[in-house]
Amino acid sequence: MNMWGIIFFNWHIRKETMSNNNLNLLYETLYNHYGPQYWWPGDTTFEIMVGAILTQNTNWTNVEKAIKNLIDADALSLEVINKMEHDRLAELIRPAGYFNVKTKRLKAFTEWLAQNAGEDLESLKSYSLSSLREQLLAVKGIGKETADSILLYALGMPTFVVDTYTYRVFTRHQLIEPEADYDELRDFCMWNLEEDIQLYNEFHALLVMVGKNHCKPKPKCQGCPLEHLPHEIEMDF
DNA sequence: GACCAGGCACATC
DNA sequence: GATGTGCATGGT
């Protein structure tokens, strides 16, 4: 995809910042400041998938408590979650919040997983990225961010994960217009970066890091490693 | 007590 | 198709 393609399809992305220099500069600045993030936290492919669902709109420390409960109950497996009563599973994941909603989502996901991969999660990699992404999005409770997190961090497939921090950092640094939606941000990143799974992995994790520390809903950006980059600090979100 | 956190589906207009 | 709302715990 060339530059004109990007401008044509992504009218919410500013032309003057269309070169990949700004995006790479932002990445390098974050990496030089924070170093590697070693994402995703999780010991197994299945744990990463579960974590991606549990962390929806939720602080990661709460997700850790829920995952620990699952491990302690010997319940962090496809088969056990599939068979477990709703109320029992909800009780285990209670610390992650929205526990009734997330119980349904986890079960919808493990049901899909059982039908499409069984215990052989690696077999999912035989699908193309776009095909697998579509299948995941068809599961109730798996939205774009969760699907991309599963694809990138659990399965090592080359897709960029966009989240609230990505949006906030990119709008505040004027890389995209506030009206840009999920797919426009994802396309923007994937068109302007080398297709590199480790780069996608690290970049998203670094955006979460800087977002947590500095890029709050109400700007408090003093001390941010990105403060010398173009930045509308007074912008009100 | 208010705000925030690694979303998503669904109802309503 | 845009916008609003429910879902919930736990840390700061």
Q: Which residues touch strand C (CB under 7 A)?
A: A 57-59, 61-62, 65, 94-95, 97-102
Across all strands, nucleotide nearest A66 (CA–C1')? C9
How many helices (DSSP H) and strands (DSSP E) are in chain A?
Answer: 12, 0
Q: What is the mean pLDDT of residues A12-26?
A: 64
DSSP string, A123-175: GGGGS-HHHHHHHHHTSTT--HHHHHHIIIIIT--S-----HHHHHHHHHTTS
Question: For strand B, is any atom closer than 7 Å to the CB of A112?
Answer: no
Distance CA A142, CA A127 (A): 18
* CA–CA separation, A160 and A205 (whole Å): 11
Instruction: Name the helix (H) or strand (E) containing A69.
Output: helix A60-72
A231 CA, B12 C1': separation in Å? 38
Task: Give the three-class secondary structure for A103.
Answer: helix
Of all helices (H) and strands (E), which one includes residue A33?
helix A20-34
The answer to whether some atom of strand B lies closer than 7 Å to the beta carbon of A33 is: no
DSSP A226: T
- Looking at every residue in chain A, the average pLDDT score rounds to 89
Query: Is pLDDT larger for residue A55 or for residue A21?
Result: A55
Task: List the A213 CA – B6 C1' distance (angstroms).
Answer: 13
Nucleotides in chain C near protein beta carbons (<7 Å): 6-11
Distance from CA(A155) to C1'(C7), angstroms, rounded: 29
Residue A16 has pLDDT above 60, yes or no: no
Residue at the smallest CA–C1' distance to nucleotide C9: A97
pLDDT at A123 over 60: yes
- Closest protein residue to B5 (Cα–C1'): A59
pLDDT of res. A173: 86
Shortest CA–C1' contact from A103: which nucleotide? C7
A92-112: pLDDT as tens digits: 999 999 999 999 999 999 999
pTM of the model: 0.91
- Measure the CA angle with vertex A191, ends A41 and A56; round to 5°: 35
Instruction: Please tell me the predicted confidence (pLDDT) of residue A217.
Output: 79
Q: For strand B, is any atom closer than 7 Å to the CB of A98?
A: yes
- Nucleotide closest to A94 measured between CA and C1': C9
Q: Give whole-number Cα distances, A4 to A17, A20, A49, A187, A188, in Å.
A: 13, 14, 36, 13, 13
Distance between the alpha carbon (CA) of A237 and the C1' atom of C2, Å: 19
CA dist A18 to A23, A44, A67, A155, Å? Answer: 9, 37, 40, 30
